[in-house]
Chains A and B, each alone.
Chain A
Amino acid sequence: MTTSVQSFPRTLRLPSLDRAAVWIVLVVLVLLAGLVSDAFFKLNYLTNLVRQAAPVGITAVGVTFVMLLRGVDLSVGAIVSMSAVVCALVMGGKVDNLWLGIAAAIACGSAVGLANGLLIAYGKGSAFILTLGMSIVVYGLVQMGTGGTARGIVSPGFRETLNGRIGGVLPVLVICLLLAVAVGIFLQSRTRFGRNAYLIGANPDAARLAGLPVSRVTVVAYMVSGFFAALGGLALLARTGVSGTNPGAGMEFDVLAAVVLGGTTFSGGRGGVGGTFAGVLVLIIALNLANVAGLPFAAQLAVKGAIIIAASAAYSWIGRRGGGLGRE
């Protein structure tokens, strides 16, 4: 470790404990699920499971960037609802309006994200309170727009396509989720925006001193969060149809749980989209196990909460032990 290295080797880097933790949990949980239920390792069951995770998973990709920056986005549940409602209203059951509906949903989601970002970057308020407030505003707007009843009809072909399976095996929604994750990983590791998010989250003061565009990156991160939440809303609309005026209610907590489980903690600068993806799977499998075990819905909620508490306790424990970093 302390030999003078004249050329720095590209080492095979062992993932540190905080990065590996969620994957270990995932493997354990998958094995456990296989033991509990014979059906678990059936391809159909597995793909269905991941399909269920698509709305939360796609939304969580965007929230990961906000959390890397030490921020938080509690408005994604409301954005998911808005996206689904706006899309169905604009489509109005016409094939011609298919793309218009999708574009309108994405535009609305990104606009709310932009508003979040501007308020947080330039208003210097707490992300927690501001996005909470924004979620109430958006919820109110959606109620005003719909008059409080489920309205709008999706274009023919929208649900059929997204709920289809390619080659009769691989659900389209699963591909959408994987695509979102791939885009997220590309953003975080190959773009200046992604690098800036890690740097600013790791040490905002040092970032300012290094001349990084802290405010701009913050605005973009919340926009990215709103954009992916809109896509999550479309995925939810495809899965459940026009089922109400607030289909994304409470989803922000599942999303936060998945992101934190995945190792992107509230302290910023650590973690990433890969971990978030594993976090989403852990969450969905755990809930399925609870379901298979016959726990009532209320008990499943308690399980979900317990998972979040356990995960955040585990990460702070790892963090205290230095996260695998050596010290003298």
Chain B
Amino acid sequence: MTMPLLQTRALTRRFPGVVALANVDFAADGGEVHAVCGANGAGKSTLMNVLSGTILPSSGSVSVAGQEVSFASPADARAAGVSIVYQEFSSIPELTVADNIYLGREFHGPLHTVDRRAAVRAAGVLLERHGIALDANAMVGSLGVADRQLVELARALSTDARILILDEPTAVLSIAEQEKLFGVIRSLREKGLLVLYISHRLEEIFEIADRVSVMRDGALVATRAKADLTETELVRLMTGREVSAPHPPEPIPAGSRTVLTLSGLATDGSAVELRQGEILGLAGLVGAGRTSIAHRIVGLRPRSGFTAALDGAPLPDDPARVLEAGVVYMTEDRKRDGIFGPLAITSNATAAALKRFSSAGFLRLRRERAAAGEMLRGLRLVAASLDTPIASLSGGNQQKVLFARALMTAPRVLICDEPTRGVDVGAKEEIYGVLRRLAGEGVAIIVISSELNEVLALSHRIAVVRDGRITATMDNAGLDEHSLTVAATGVALRSAQG
């Protein structure tokens, strides 16, 4: 048997009070896409940080192509052929693709001036070699997210990487953009590179990976060929317990009244109605206008072109009044307009319902705390204390606090935008449970999600969104991912594919 390209032996990393990596024996070969998955805190980030030279291991060894290596810095790792592409973009929009690829490693002409022409030439060769369709002279700011991701990738490759680590590369990509990225990844595999692929999204792992390594609580629990693995099995390995397969939602109780009516939003002119206890899924590509519909319903954007009515009465325009009326929107981007980062869990949970916990402007702190505690226990929040700043919680727990905030207002209509984004598998199931329970209690729910199986698992009905309007509404019976994809992408994609 040949020597694996990358191998770790008994790799261990301790942090005060935690063993983030415990005796990890990991091996991966050139010419494969090797997915590394695990719940939040399983240790995959620590492993990648050790492999890319960001942190030092406490003990154990790493070898590349049989040579034992010790990376004191990311530069050491790059020199040995290991490059990492992080989730967040670090490219500079005001510079060209070539300038970004060689950022910090510029080509110099005489008099130490920057030789941009040499950079463009080298970038052109690099992009061509790896089959990346980008213009080296294009401004990065003018590129879409997928192309910006490719710039990051090209930068990682420009150091003659043999091992490329991709950390959640598709977090911000639409389905079509994802395909473009996967095309590049496959061509890298052809060229014999090892691609370590970290992702939360199981569908993706099954699409792109050759082998899958699963981490849990700092240990490597299994490495399997994709062919020997089912999705259920993978989830079991990640969580260490059986997760029930998504079951279809309970039927809506007979005699449920219509709560929300959206007129003028459907392309066929019919009104879209939402009943008590009903979950309506909004499916569509990223950029199809799902979030825009949600924003327009709750008044965050002008409600041009359609009207919204709650119990037959028109919904106010002002977001605060919409919230008061009982229509609550939960953001897709927790960090941007969800969490109050430095503030305690309690303050975060009660923010939208402070009036309930005050009289004459004075806060009733004990009552507030008791209510927040009860609500969060019901949501199975995991936290050391309610005084912990919310920013220190995992994505799933932050989302539970945001659910608590929404539920504190006793909503009649709840609009959840990507409710499980950045949430690990276990917490995901819990959030599905919460949504189903709420529907059972008579709350009308709209779920927006890029994950089709999520929409399919939760919704009674599914509305397909294109260009900010609803092009079709169907009952969730006999639908599968394929038929939904066809509906969501429609003729446009089919004709584009020829």
A residues at B contact (CB < 8 Å): 1-11, 13, 189-193, 195-196, 198-199, 202-203, 205-213, 269-270, 323, 325-328
Contacts and interface: CB of A to CB of B under 8 A. Distances in A.
B382 A4 contact: yes
A58 B329 CA distance: 41
A328 B342 contact: no
Contact of B385 (A10, A207, A209): A10
B30 interface: no
Instruction: Output the residue of B336, B337, B394 with the most chain A CB within 10 A.
Output: B337
B458 interface: no
Contacts of B387: 10-11, 13
A199 B351 contact: yes
A203 B384 contact: no
22 contacts: A1-B384, A2-B41, A7-B373, A10-B387, A203-B337, A203-B339, A205-B336, A206-B331, A206-B338, A206-B340, A207-B340, A209-B329, A210-B352, A212-B351, A212-B354, A213-B320, A269-B340, A269-B343, A270-B342, A323-B342, A325-B389, A325-B392
B23 to A, nearest CB: 20
A218 to B, nearest CB: 14
A8 B385 contact: yes
B465 to A, nearest CB: 21
Contact of A192 (B358, B382, B386): B358
A202 B338 CA distance: 11
Contacts of B343: 198-199, 202, 269
Nearest to B368: A195
Given A202-B341, A203-B337, A5 B363 contact: no
Given A6-B377, A210-B405, A211-B319, A202 B342 contact: yes
B186 interface: no
Chain B contact residues (Cβ within 8 angstroms of A): what range?
A: 35 or more
Contacts of B452: none
Instruction: Output the residue of B40, B380, B384 with the most chain A CB within 10 A.
Output: B384
B347 A199 contact: yes
A190 B338 contact: no
Contact of A8 (B324, B362, B376): B376
Interface of B: 17, 40-41, 45, 300, 319-320, 323-324, 329, 331, 336-343, 347, 351-352, 354-355, 358, 361-363, 365, 373, 376-377, 380-387, 389, 391-392, 394, 405
Nearest to B40: A328
Nearest to B322: A211
Nearest to A8: B386
A8 B383 contact: yes
Given A192-B354, A199-B340, A203-B341, A211 B391 contact: no
B363 A211 contact: no
Contacts of B329: 209
Contacts of A208: 319, 337
B347 A328 contact: no
Given A10-B385, A192-B355, A212-B354, 6 more contacts: A3-B382, A8-B377, A11-B385, A196-B354, A202-B342, A326-B392
A327 B358 CA distance: 33
Nearest to B357: A192
B327 to A, nearest CB: 11
Contacts of B361: 191-193
A206 B335 CA distance: 9
Instruction: Output the residue of B342, B389, B394 with the most chain A CB within 10 A.
Output: B342
A98 to B, nearest CB: 30
Nearest to A325: B392
B365 A190 contact: yes
B340 A327 contact: no
A211 B337 contact: no
B319 A209 contact: yes
A190 B363 contact: yes
Contacts of A193: 361
Would you list the 8 A-B pairs with minimal beta carbon distance, nearest first?
A: A205-B337, A211-B323, A211-B320, A202-B340, A210-B352, A11-B385, A325-B392, A210-B351
Contacts of B363: 189-192, 195
Contacts of B45: 328
Given A8-B373, A209-B331, A323-B342, A328 B386 contact: no
Instruction: Output the residue of A206, A213, A269 with the most chain B CB within 10 A.
Output: A206
A11 B384 CA distance: 9
B384 A191 contact: no
A195 B353 CA distance: 12
Contacts of B340: 198-199, 202-203, 206-207, 269
A325 B391 contact: yes
Nearest to A269: B342
A10 B45 CA distance: 32
Contacts of A10: 385, 387
A200 B394 CA distance: 23
Nearest to B394: A328
Contacts of B405: 210
A211 B331 CA distance: 13
Nearest to A203: B340
Contacts of A4: 380, 382
A267 to B, nearest CB: 9
A170 B323 CA distance: 51
B392 A327 contact: yes
Instruction: Output the residue of B331, B351, B387, B392 with the most chain A CB within 10 A.
Output: B351
